[in-house]
Amino acid sequence: MNWTEVLPGIAIMAGTTYLVRVIPLLLFKNKITNRTIKAFLYFVPYAVLSAMTIPDVFSSTGNGISTAAGLVTAVLLAWYDKGLLIVSLGAALASVVVTLVM
């Protein structure tokens, strides 16, 4: 891809993300008290991450067996609460090893 294709998109991503961060710092002096809005914001990250992971993760390595190896490794490591770094690298490593072996 070339710069003219990606620059407007990058600018929009950066601008939108910055606005979300800066507006509350400039405007809000009081805490949100509406419980439904707070509960909604509590669930947002989990809904977002789940929808971003499923179904795309199943086609993430372009190969069914290496995807399965990476996915199982990630779920097991995450189950034992190994943290972002270990889970992420472990999944990639399992997937790479399976790709090399095949």
Partner 1 sequence: MKDGLKLGIPIALGYFSVSVAYGMSAALLGFTPVMAALISVTNLTSAGQFAGTTLVAQHAGFVELVVTMLVINARYFLMGISLSQKLEKTTLFQRLLIAYGITDEIYAAAISKKGSLSFSFYMGLMVLPILGWTAGTWCGAAAGDLLPPSLASACGIAMYGMFIAILIPKARTSRPVTVCIVASAVLSTILRKLGLSAGWTVIAVTILIAGIMAFLHPEAADELD
- Given a contact cutoff of 8 angstroms between Cβ atoms, the answer to whether 60 and 67 are in contact is yes
Task: Check binding of 49 to partner 1 (CB under 8 A).
Answer: yes
**65 near partner 1 (CB under 8 A):** no
Residue 19's Cα: distance from chain center in Å? 20
Residue 57: both structure tokens together: 């993760």
Window 2-31: residues binding partner 1 (CB under 8 A): 3, 5-6, 8-10, 12-14, 16-18, 20-26, 28-29, 31
Contact between 70 and 97 (Cβ < 8 Å): no
Choose which of 4, 64, 91, 101 interacts with partner 1 (CB under 8 A): 91
**Residue 64 binds partner 1, judged by CB under 8 A:** no
